[in-house]
Amino acid sequence: MITLTQSKSGIESSSKLEQGKNLDLSFDQFLEQCPEDGRYELVDGKMVKILATRIHYDIAWLILKSFDREIDRLALNYVVNDVAAVLTINKKGKEQGRHPDVSVINRDLWRRDRLDYRGIREPIQLAVEVVSTNWEDDYIDKLDEYARLGIPEYWIVDYLAIGSRDYLGDPKLPSVLIFNLDAEGKYQMTRFQNSDRLISATFPELNLTVEQIMAA
């Protein structure tokens, strides 16, 4: 018989997660109680663990590295990471804590309080969400919340083509959807598929195609 003993850090993380499940958390409480192992979001007052496949992480990592190279090459005043928790407000006026797969953040904003636990309370420059089975979160909830927060650019990477035909077209194909905020605070969408080169307002010289992303 093999007995597995949970580490102290694992016990603490489990305890924090159980607390988060039972309480109606604010964004600040979410940051304080969020376990360090894994990825979590604050959804309707509850702490929710994010589970993703390896291809999900591979795609997000390829995009992150592509952005990072552009930032270095052009000496842009951004940082890019996958650890930021962003405060948003949903339609009911409730605080949410979103954790984009890739976040591009103004460097001055990120470094304003470097002792903060990853919490961002102002609009980041660009958010990327790689769609998994919970596609409605990215297409509906986060689309609304990111627009309300004022994030200028939002990417949805739907490698499974599981979103609706309104977004993906007919037939549905793996796509990258780029939403740019207009003067009225509404997102305008451009759909990219196959060999299309992605056109980004944040990274106008970015040389990256949908095919390259899907092959990650």
Name the band, by pLDDT with cuts 50, 70 and 90, for residue 37.
confident
Name the band, by pLDDT with cuts 50, 70 and 90, for residue 18.
low
Which pLDDT tens digit goes with each residue over 124-179?
A: 999 999 998 788 899 999 999 999 999 999 999 999 999 999 999 999 999 999 99
Residues 58 and 161 in one domain: yes
Residues 66 and 141 in one domain: yes
Q: Is the Cα dihedral 120, 121, 123, 128 positive or negative?
A: positive
**What stretches of 53-114 show up as alpha helix (H) in DSSP?**
54-74, 107-111
Total count of domains within the chain: 2
The percentage of residues in the chain with a pLDDT greater than 70, rounded to a whole number, is 89
Residue 20, burial from CB neighbour count under 10 angstroms (0-12, 13-18, 19+) = buried
Residues 67 and 11 in one domain: no
Residues 13 and 36 in one domain: yes
Residues 195 and 182 in one domain: yes
pTM of the predicted model as reported, rounded to 2 decimal places: 0.88
Residues 25 and 108 in one domain: no
For 85, 171, 200, the CA distances from 39, given in Å and listed in that order, are 10, 33, 27
Residues 108 and 9 in one domain: no
CATH of the domain at 163: 3.90.1570.10
Q: Which residue range(s) make up the domain with 200?
A: 52-214
Residues 177 and 74 in one domain: yes
